Structure formats: structure tokens, C-alpha cells
Amino acid sequence: DGGITQSPKYLFRKEGQNVTLSCEQNLNHDAMYWYRQDPGQGLRLIYYSHIVNDFQKGDIAEGYSVSREKKESFPLTVTSAQKNPTAFYLCASSRDRYYEQYFGPGTRLTVT
Amino acid sequence: QKEVEQNSGPLSVPEGAIASLNCTYSDRGSQSFFWYRQYSGKSPELIMSIYSNGDKEDGRFTAQLNKASQYVSLLIRDSQPSDSATYLCAVNPRNYGGSQGNLIFGKGTKLSVKP
């Protein structure tokens, strides 16, 4: 079954801790993306990667970091520098940057 | 700044009616257009893609594209309560070269279908 998996579904952390969100795809897609969605808000692009071993900052990259060492994996680390990390985090992938994106189920992060 | 605009709604329609969702975009060079459906608490799901002017039908859904007027719309015929969701419009501005070319998403229109 091809698709995008994100884990965990729910994540709780204390303020000041770094946390890594997992995103894996078996669609053989070149491009992968991380978005953040706050209640009642649209999608905001955090980081994107159009090809393995390369990634770029999106619109709200401060306080986040990523890696793209394997084509199928694009983990996101939410660092303690992110001032308001509680949100719904969505990972997406596409064949390349010009094609439709497919989303994983998301991770809901709560930091207290 | 490339933009995609949608009416936030909520758009309320009775069951069985046609729901019409609209989206305008600023980049005249945009090449591909997508509609996503997002149920509350869930991730967006791709429901329609359209690349050329005119209508594209898929079941109860019809996407309409007018590049000259820079708008794309989604019609849902025979609306059902299960269609109640937020609908996101996404546009690919297709900058050749460089690191851009990512989809630009609108903020979505919330649709409510009343039984």
C-alpha cells in the first residue's frame, strides 16, 4: 500500500524540549514538504525538499530544522527556539515540485 | 507576492443543492490547479486536478478553470451532509528555474450541508 505515514498521531512535550516528527513515504516521490496548521487557519510552509540531500526554508522556518538523507524520509525537529509550537503538523509529498501534493495523516503536537 | 484567495465562508447549502466554491489567483502564469477537501481534525485530501480551461467532471464534482479571468471553481452537485468540510484551492505558479514552484494554498472555504 503506497502512502505517507506520520508518527506519532499525538505528541505531548514540555516546554524547552526538542521533539522530532517522523514522515515517511513509499510513493517514490522526489519532493517532500512540512506544513503547520493552527486552528481555523490555512497551511503554512515550514520547510521543503525538492530532491534528496537538499532542502529549503519555507515561510515560517524559524525554530524548526529538517534533514533529507533518504528519498523516503523527511523528519522535522521542533526546537525549543520555536515560540509557539503547539499545532497540527502535516507532511506532504509530490512527484516533483510541479505536481499535486499528497498529505500524511498529520501529527498533533501539544507543548505545555 | 503570489496569492490564492478564497471566501472563508461558512457556505451553507441544503442537502441536494449545488454547492459552488470559488478561488482566484494572482499569478497569470499558473499552470496547474487543485482542490483539496479537509474534514475537521484530518489532513487534506486531493479531490480534483485541472490543467486547461473549461470544465472537468468527476462524479458529483466539477472543476471549472478560466485562466483569462484567473479563477477556478468547484461545483458539488447533489450536496450531502458528508460533503461538509473545508475546501482548499491550490495553485502551482510554475516558476521555471530556481527553487520555487511549490503549490500555493488558499485558506479554504468551509462548507456546511444541512439535512
Q: What's the pLDDT at B98? A: 47
Summary mean pLDDT of chain A: 94
Q: What's the pLDDT at A1? A: 62
Query: B101 and A97: CB-CB below 8 Å?
Result: yes
| B contact set with A (CB within 8 A) | 31-32, 34, 36, 42-46, 49, 88, 90, 92, 94, 99, 101-103, 105-108
Of A35, A30, A64, nearest in space to A50 by CA: A30
**pLDDT tens digit sequence for A20-69:** 999 999 999 999 999 999 988 899 999 999 999 999 999 999 999 999 99
Long-range CB contacts (within 8 A, 24+) of B14-17: B14/B79, B14/B113, B14/B114, B15/B79, B15/B80, B15/B81, B15/B113, B15/B114, B15/B115, B16/B78, B16/B79, B17/B79, B17/B113
Of A77, A90, A61, nearest in space to A19 by CA: A77
- pLDDT for A102 beyond 60: yes
Contacts of B36 in chain A (CB under 8 A): 103
Q: What's the pLDDT at B101? A: 65
**pLDDT tens digit sequence for B47-99:** 999 999 999 999 999 999 999 999 999 999 999 999 999 999 999 887 554 44
Name the amino acid, one letter, at A46.
I
Between CA B39 and CA A91 the distance in angstroms is: 16
Higher pLDDT, residue B101 or A21: A21
Grid-cell match 540531500, residue found: A53
Q: Which three cell numbers stand for residue A6?
A: 506520520
Between CA B77 and CA B61 the distance in angstroms is: 7
